A and B are shown apart, each in its own frame.
Chain A
Amino acid sequence: MLWLLLLPLPLPALGAVEKTLGIAPHLVSKYVPSRSNTWTCLDGLKEIPWDYVNDDSCDCADGSDEPGTGACPNQSFYCQNEGHIGSFIPSSRVRDGLCEPNCCDGSDERPGVCNNVCQEVGQAYKTKAAEETKIRKTQGSKIRSTYITYAHKEKKRLEEVIETSAAQITTQEKEVARLRDIAERAESLSAAALEMKQQSPLYTSLITHSNALKSLQREHKKHLQREKELSNILDALRSGYNPNYQDMAVLEAVRGWEEIAGLPHINDVGKDSVSDEEAGVEEDTVPDVAQTKEEVEDEMWSAEELENDLDDLLNSDYISLLLEHDEYVQSPPEGSVLFDIASYLPDAIVPQYEEFKETILSLLVSFGIIKSEISSSTGTSLDTSRSRQVLTDAENELNKVKKEKENAENDLKEIFNIHGYGLEGEWKKLDGTCLRTENGDYTYEVCLFGEAKQIPNKGGSTFSLGKFASWDPSPDVKPGEEAYYQKQIYNRGARCWNGPERNVVLLLSCGTENTLNSVVELEKCEYQFTGTTPALCRPLDSFEGRNGKKSQAGKDEL
């Protein structure tokens, strides 16, 4: 047992290390022994012999006595990395036999395990940093500054739009007021008579037909929509059903759908040397064939006409028609002869008379001598509905201008909004810019601040993956800082079969072009896009500012 005495001798070499190893620069001053050669743990809770510091045995509850050995968990080990930049690694990586890339001086391992490669690493880092700087400074940030210029121009343009529209609004409001006055007067003249005419069985029947047709159209559209949704669901079921559910009912549903839609069985697609492409074409053409085969009876509308022309028909001005109708059936004149004196006059003088009548009548009416309500000749009735139409048009025009102004105002607000196009407006330029990338069987597209989509390359339905919702919503990230603009959220896309609504997280970084680089569906229906944009290439001074502020993070990336 004598040899046991010798045991402690070789051990310090493999256990304890230099007292200063692994200590963060700002803490070095705290690692000095007291006069009685003791040391107090950094949490102040325990005093230990100075020998215990970095002796590869954990003594302090806070682990502060072992900055250099990894004997205490959850510590940080500082590599000095002379010739490069100092760096922290977790204590779990100290003396684990692996040379940490962040510890180019090899101080994290036992002597002789790792070479000091700080010279090369430092050089490579500088080269890389220089390249990054170049991109930011000379290319990316230049483009970015054009975006900012654009935003300012856009701001100016919008302000002009607002100004112009404001003027237009004033003018138009006056015009609307004038027209409203005319229309109201015309209407008050004919209201009672019109009401009478509207009692006509033909008219009421027309209205009923119209209502029925409208209802039918609404139902039709609803059904079309439902059919589309159902076919989407079934398409999704067909191409994505999970055979692990081993549900024969699902298989039957798929087969049934394929029969109705004239699709090949999904499992046969690609089989028997039918390429997916051909199968895709087939998918698209089959329904068309079915449609053209459908015989259309004479005078009956085709589906296309229903689609395109029905709205026009339903938007007909029935009042105008009613009044025009009167002309055709030559309903007996009503009211004063004065109003319809033209019919008793020779044709030759009718134009003159008409001109005269207009003047007289308007005079009489305006002086309150006769009331226009008793005038209900067909001509004036038509005038009434037309004046209403003119008014509506004018009002629409007014609303349009107002809307324009409002939009411009909103856009103006967004341009330099921290939550919108950024404090400098650098994102405004990219509003509506669409980035695409191909990934497997799909092309993925995101229109910035708009919508993200999944477009099948071989035919089939395009799915919305979501609409722009916000920048990085994480509470850890402050709006306005660079990280905030490195993430966009698009959500509320098309719902997955048996799953959530599709959504996208778009991760952006500085690059000289606007590109979409990768798409990955990390879990079902949740996509992660990565891309680059010059909008994130802040100029060098702000870059340095960031680096200064987050020096620790910066170094960890080395």
Chain B
Amino acid sequence: MRSVVLFGSFYALLALPHALAVKSQDFKTCSQSGFCRRGRALAARAQEAQSSWKSPYTVDPSSIVISSDDSTVKAAVKSSLYPEIKFGLELRIHDDGVVRVLLDEVDGLKKRYDEAASWALVSEPKLSKGIRWAAGKKELRAVFGEKNDIEVAVDYDPLRVRLRRGGEDQIVLNGRGLLHMEHFRSQTLKETIEEVASDENAEGQEVLQVENVRAWFEGDSEDAYWEEKFSSWTDSKPKGPESLSLDITFPNHGTVYGIPQHATNLSLPSTTGDSPSYTDPFRLYNADVFEYLASSPMSLYGSIPVMHAHSADTTVGLFNAVGSETWIDISYPTKKSTHTHWISESGIMDVFLLPGPTPEEVFAQYARLTGTTALPAHWSLGYHQCRWNYVSSDDVRTVQRRFDEEDMPVDVFWLDIEYAQDHKYFIWDHKTFPDPVEMTNDVAAAGRKMVVIVDPHLKRTSDYPVYQEASDLDILVKPKSGEGEYEGWCWTGSSSWIDHFNPASWDWWISKFKTTQNDTGFSWTESTEDIHIWNDMNEPSIFNGPEITMPKDSIHHGGWEHRDVHNINGMLFHNNTAQAVRLRSDIPKRPFVLTRSFFAGSQRVGAMWTGDNLGTWDHMAVGVKMVLANGIAGMAFAGSDVGGFFGNPEPEMLVRWYQVGIFSPFFRAHAHIDTKRREPFLLDEPYKSIVRDILRLRYAMLPIWYTAFRENSVTGMPIVRPHYVVFPQDTAGFAIDDQFFVGSSGILVKPVTEKDKTEATVYIAEDQVYYDYFTQYAYRGSSKGKHITVAAELHQVPVFIRGGSIIPTRERPRRSSPLMKLDPFTLRVALSKTGTARGDLYLDDGITYSHQQGEFVWREFVAEQSQKKTTRISSRDLASHNPGKAVDGIALTTFDPKNAFAKEIEEVRVEKIVVLGLNSKPRSVNVEGGAELKWEFVPGVAASDKKEGVSSVLIIKDPKVLITTDWAIVIS
């Protein structure tokens, strides 16, 4: 109130300057990256040569060896360019039909990095035994799969790997002959001379080599083989060229998704071919991109080299397990086919072909490889209030008090870097936070938590025990010499980084988070189990490093260069922190650790957010797409900063952003230190009340979100699902990325992300009734797809219930989610055209791992027309029927519906049932075998009608049926 009244005029002045933009000169384009340049030049030569182009790589058929269990095939590969160099190809077929294709140099001068997959995979995949391989003259084939409908073919000359289904190629490796694994070589004297002779132009050594027989393929110059300069940095490249170029073609899929993280459309735009959308390839190189663009193929904070190729017929997936910098060109030669070209700086080729054939199965196949998001702490699905920075413990208390005074729910208060003295993480600045434990306890008293930042850069000062211990243990990343400690610049000034690739760092790091005294060194005694962690800057972000990150020639454990592991780096820090938080208590509790950087597999560890976005409408809009894209690649627990990190959003924008936020799996508001405070209680009316209602809607819907997380944790299905996932055959919906479904609940959301909107257009893909969540207006889609226009004034967010869904909510506003534990439920039964509906509900204690011991409640609600004109709504246990698929982490064999958790909530009842779309006023409504219930009926449009309009609504008052028991209510 104070600031709004006093300084209201500043809002206009401080609105985001138009000049804000990424410093693109800080980051490489493909043409500034030697191996990308070489990779694209190779593709250009192939393009030019057209049909005369032939890959120099061939399989030696005589070398084929099939493993004794028939799961694996190995063969020698040669390149005609370098006949003396040996390559080894290996194919493994997993028991779910996934084909893993590996290619490595054999007996090379050095070893290529081959551990990327081992970090990404959740466990060693099970191989499919008894595959029948047929080695022919030209190719090696195998047919497999449950229905024997998947086929893998390896063509010998040139080398080509094809995954086929129904006689059609699904995924083709090296179909365009762009495969090139640069072998290790010695820097010859001649090359050294060239190096010197080429004066300062290190990037373009255009010294003519007259008799280069390989020039048709490799080009005429040794472009940036041994050293590469960018801006003021020099990459010493001691191993020389070792890049990998690989073309992957989807001849029958015209749409590709995935390879997050990029600020772009879900359906990936082209980067090559005719009039490409972007001129540079998509880049995967985890980077702290300051004020990133809202539409760009540039790298961002995380990298998941997973791509889904989709058509109305099938969906296939691809996981390229590479941890080094990777550029991906995409083009669409026809509407129904996709060319991709993957150029990685180092590492073996380790590609997993996911046969699908549905989006659901691709998610399951990828989940079996890299795991799913562990069921998060329930409170972490509530609202997170963050700012850089809440400046003191009293500030935190005041913010909490203001939320309570305004009766706005919130679960978590966050502390950014300024809590730490000189940014020495864990070490409270006692001038401003004299009583961190008491402060945390004050927050926890209302069932809330705190999240406190711990970044990976350690201040290099001997009075910082965390640094000193790491230094003494010799577990810090080393500079290119391989000796001593790499030193870079970050918040902390001169800093070093823990090498989480070094197993010696793991237990040590875990011990830092103990809240009790450690025998062996520092532990965070000034913390409590109500403090969870935020890992930022883990790309790693290094202010004085090339591209704001670590020099590629820095040395990790095992002598690997940073270039080999860069994209994996952030995940290990995140993982070790999450382990630490899990293990700090005697009874392990689910950790919440937010990360900015991530890789394939990070989803197992926790949540991510889309980094330092801008308070602009286009960033709000692209945030929705990015969260969807992350979900496609398994990183389900995702969100964007509500309000935008930079800038001062006007109230309208903030309201819309909260509407986006409550429909993100991870829901946090955050703001830069230079911005005005913008906690929702500071808003003027009507904005304040609108946001209060928005927050309460999130809390009311927590059962839906938690149930969606359960499903994700078991199946890998995304929490927020774009259209194509739900309607894979609806071509018109393939590119839709501004509306989505929440889990399997049937909730469809189209957030408004534009200014001055009063209406929204929503696409309905099927011939089904969709009810407006708030007005109960029944809209009707069409099997051909149909756009409907709905009101979307500022206080309205377009939310629909798909006909055929039962939505469980908890409608009593509370201060925080743990205080809702014993609140009753409301069920919204949205009848389908045929008068049926279903939904499920999953509950557990939300904190411990007792759900893995069977302590949970998983119910299914079904509405069906049992006899003519009778609708029966029933509740039944789902877990007993399917204990093995109830929760992630353990396959239960039995389930006791009267487990300890169920007993804890046994008094929790359904307080209201709302039935939408009944044909006519019921004659009676009663609990099956029981007395007549109290109810009201408002006539309206029936689900089975053809017309649109406010649906009929039956409200059953307090049926007093319990959540944990079976029951049925009959509407006659």
Q: Is A5's CB within 8 Å of the partner chain B?
A: yes
Known contacts A4-B927, A57-B911, A267-B494; A473/B5 CB under 8 A: yes
Pick from B543, B696, B931, B960: contact of A246, CB below 8 A.
Answer: B543
Q: Is B636's CB within 8 Å of the partner chain A?
A: no
- A474 CA / B3 CA spacing, docked (Å): 10
- Tell me which residues across on chain A come within 8 A of B811, comparing CB atoms: 73
Q: Is A520's CB within 8 Å of the partner chain B?
A: yes
- A71 CA / B911 CA spacing, docked (Å): 9
- Tell me which residues across on chain A come within 8 A of B391, comparing CB atoms: 520-522
* A523 close to B676 (CB less than 8 A): yes
- Tell me which residues across on chain A come within 8 A of B821, comparing CB atoms: 97
Pick from A96, A271, A439, A474: contact of B2, CB below 8 A.
Answer: A474
- Tell me which residues across on chain B come within 8 A of A95, comparing CB atoms: 822
* A246 close to B675 (CB less than 8 A): no
- A500 CA / B8 CA spacing, docked (Å): 12
* B431 close to A440 (CB less than 8 A): yes
Pick from A55, A267, A439, A522: contact of B958, CB below 8 A.
Answer: A55
Q: Is A385's CB within 8 Å of the partner chain B?
A: no
- Tell me which residues across on chain A come within 8 A of B960, comparing CB atoms: 7-8, 11, 15
* A73 close to B5 (CB less than 8 A): no
* A73 close to B812 (CB less than 8 A): yes
* B967 close to A93 (CB less than 8 A): no
The binding surface of chain B is classed by DSSP as loop
Contact with A along B370-403 (1 / 0, CB 8 A): 0000000000000000000001101100000000
Pick from A73, A97, A476, A520: contact of B392, CB below 8 A.
Answer: A520
Known contacts A11-B960, A474-B1, A520-B394; A246/B548 CB under 8 A: yes
Known contacts A73-B813, A499-B674, A520-B392; A246/B26 CB under 8 A: yes
Q: Is B677's CB within 8 Å of the partner chain A?
A: yes
CB-nearest residue of chain A relative to B909? A11
* B819 close to A98 (CB less than 8 A): yes
Nearest 8 A/B pairs, CB to CB: A57-B958, A96-B819, A92-B813, A11-B960, A1-B929, A14-B907, A73-B813, A440-B431
Known contacts A7-B962, A97-B821, A524-B674; A243/B930 CB under 8 A: no
* 12 residue pairs bridging A and B, Cβ less than 8 Å apart: A1-B929, A4-B967, A8-B960, A59-B957, A90-B407, A92-B407, A97-B819, A242-B674, A245-B290, A246-B26, A489-B6, A520-B391
Pick from B6, B26, B814: contact of A473, CB below 8 A.
Answer: B6
Distance in Å from the Cβ of A119 to the closest Cβ of chain B? 23
* A243 close to B812 (CB less than 8 A): no
- Tell me which residues across on chain A come within 8 A of B61, comparing CB atoms: none
Q: Is B961's CB within 8 Å of the partner chain A?
A: yes
Contact with A along B658-693 (1 / 0, CB 8 A): 000000000000000111110000000000000000
Q: Is B849's CB within 8 Å of the partner chain A?
A: no
- Tell me which residues across on chain A come within 8 A of B14, comparing CB atoms: 500
- A56 CA / B407 CA spacing, docked (Å): 20
Q: Is A503's CB within 8 Å of the partner chain B?
A: yes
Distance in Å from the Cβ of B972 to the closest Cβ of chain A? 17
Contact with B along A1-27 (1 / 0, CB 8 A): 110110110010011000000000000
- Tell me which residues across on chain A come within 8 A of B819, comparing CB atoms: 96-98
Q: Is B447's CB within 8 Å of the partner chain A?
A: yes
Pick from B490, B957, B961: contact of A243, CB below 8 A.
Answer: B490
Known contacts A56-B911, A98-B819; A526/B957 CB under 8 A: no
* B674 close to A7 (CB less than 8 A): no
CB-nearest residue of chain A relative to B432? A440
Most A CB atoms within 10 A — which of B814, B821, B961? B814
- Tell me which residues across on chain B come within 8 A of A245, comparing CB atoms: 290
Question: Which residues A92-106 have CB closer than 8 A to chain B?
Answer: 92-93, 95-98
Pick from B407, B548, B813, B928: contact of A1, CB below 8 A.
Answer: B928
Pick from A8, A242, A243, A473: contact of B489, CB below 8 A.
Answer: A243
Distance in Å from the Cβ of A290 to the closest Cβ of chain B? 28
CB-nearest residue of chain A relative to B961? A7
- A475 CA / B824 CA spacing, docked (Å): 41
Q: Is A294's CB within 8 Å of the partner chain B?
A: no
Contact with B along A238-249 (1 / 0, CB 8 A): 000011111100
Most A CB atoms within 10 A — which of B13, B494, B812? B812
- Tell me which residues across on chain A come within 8 A of B392, comparing CB atoms: 520
Contact with A along B407-448 (1 / 0, CB 8 A): 100000000000000000000000110000000000001110
Q: Is A70's CB within 8 Å of the partner chain B?
A: yes
CB-nearest residue of chain B relative to A266? B493
Question: Which residues A501-541 have CB closer than 8 A to chain B?
Answer: 503, 505, 518, 520-524, 526
* A93 close to B394 (CB less than 8 A): no
Question: Which residues A43-74 have CB closer than 8 A to chain B?
Answer: 55-57, 59, 70-71, 73-74
Question: Which residues B17-49 have CB closer than 8 A to chain A?
Answer: 23, 26
Known contacts A7-B962, A523-B677, A524-B674; A92/B812 CB under 8 A: yes
CB-nearest residue of chain B relative to A469? B6
Distance in Å from the Cβ of B554 to the closest Cβ of chain A? 19
- A227 CA / B454 CA spacing, docked (Å): 41
Question: Which residues A316-373 have CB closer than 8 A to chain B?
Answer: none
Q: Is B7's CB within 8 Å of the partner chain A?
A: yes
- Tell me which residues across on chain A come within 8 A of B431, comparing CB atoms: 439-440
- Tell me which residues across on chain A come within 8 A of B395, comparing CB atoms: 520, 522
* B962 close to A475 (CB less than 8 A): no
Contact with A along B494-526 (1 / 0, CB 8 A): 100000000000000000000000000000000
Distance in Å from the Cβ of A147 to the closest Cβ of chain B? 26
Distance in Å from the Cβ of A16 to the closest Cβ of chain B? 9
- Tell me which residues across on chain B come within 8 A of A526, comparing CB atoms: 3, 7
- Tell me which residues across on chain A come within 8 A of B812, comparing CB atoms: 70-71, 73, 92
CB-nearest residue of chain A relative to B545? A246
* B958 close to A56 (CB less than 8 A): yes
* A98 close to B446 (CB less than 8 A): yes
Q: Is B802's CB within 8 Å of the partner chain A?
A: no
- A275 CA / B36 CA spacing, docked (Å): 48
Q: Is A37's CB within 8 Å of the partner chain B?
A: no
Q: Is A498's CB within 8 Å of the partner chain B?
A: yes
Beyond known contacts A92-B814, A96-B815, A98-B445: 9 more, CB 8 A cutoff = A7-B927, A7-B930, A11-B960, A14-B907, A57-B958, A92-B407, A246-B548, A475-B5, A520-B395
Question: Which residues A147-164 have CB closer than 8 A to chain B?
Answer: none
* B493 close to A267 (CB less than 8 A): yes
- A11 CA / B960 CA spacing, docked (Å): 7
- Tell me which residues across on chain B come within 8 A of A5, comparing CB atoms: 929-930
Distance in Å from the Cβ of B822 to the closest Cβ of chain A? 7
- Tell me which residues across on chain A come within 8 A of B6, comparing CB atoms: 473, 489, 491, 503, 505
- A71 CA / B23 CA spacing, docked (Å): 53
* A524 close to B493 (CB less than 8 A): no
- Tell me which residues across on chain B come within 8 A of A90, comparing CB atoms: 407
Contact with A along B908-937 (1 / 0, CB 8 A): 010110000000000000011111000000
- A11 CA / B961 CA spacing, docked (Å): 9
Contact with B along A474-489 (1 / 0, CB 8 A): 1110000000000101
Q: Is B774's CB within 8 Å of the partner chain A?
A: no
Most A CB atoms within 10 A — which of B6, B493, B967? B6
Distance in Å from the Cβ of A195 to the closest Cβ of chain B? 55
- A244 CA / B26 CA spacing, docked (Å): 13
Known contacts A440-B431, A521-B391; A93/B1 CB under 8 A: no
- Tell me which residues across on chain B come within 8 A of A491, comparing CB atoms: 6
Known contacts A92-B812, A475-B5; A246/B957 CB under 8 A: no
CB-nearest residue of chain B relative to A14? B907
Distance in Å from the Cβ of B664 to the closest Cβ of chain A? 24
- Tell me which residues across on chain A come within 8 A of B907, comparing CB atoms: 14
Distance in Å from the Cβ of B546 to the closest Cβ of chain A? 12
Q: Is B491's CB within 8 Å of the partner chain A?
A: yes
Distance in Å from the Cβ of A87 to the closest Cβ of chain B? 15
Most B CB atoms within 10 A — which of A14, A55, A71, A523? A523
- A242 CA / B676 CA spacing, docked (Å): 17
- A242 CA / B491 CA spacing, docked (Å): 9
